[in-house]
Structure 1
C-alpha cells in the first residue's frame, strides 16, 4: 500500500465519520453522551476490536 492509498483511505474515514454529526446532530450528541457514560474498559475493548477488524481488512486487501 502506498502513501496515496493511505491518504485516500483516511479521506474516506473522515467522510464517513463526518456524516453522523452532519445529518443527525441531536442523535449524535445523545450517542456521544451515552458513550461517555460507559466504563473505560468497555471503550477500550470496543476500540481494540475496531482496530483489530481494521487491521484484518488491511491485511486481506493489501
Structure 2
C-alpha cells in the first residue's frame, strides 16, 4: 500500500494547479449549499487541504 500512497502523492504534486482548482470549486459549492453560513470554516478547510498538497504546500 506504500507504493500506492507514493504514487498518489506524486500525482498530486505533478498536478498541483488542478488539485487547487478542484479544492476551490468544492469549497465554493459547499459555501453555496450552506447559504454562506460557514464560509470561514470552509475557507480554512480548503486552505488546509491546499497546504497538504502540491508544491505550494507542505507535502508529507
Q: What TM bracket, shorter-length normalisation?
A: 0.3 to 0.5
Q: Which has the higher helix share?
A: 1
- Answer with 1 or 2: which has the greater Rg: 1
TM-score by length of 1: 0.38
Using CA pairs below 8 Å that are at least 6 residues apart, which structure has the higher relative contact order? Answer: 2
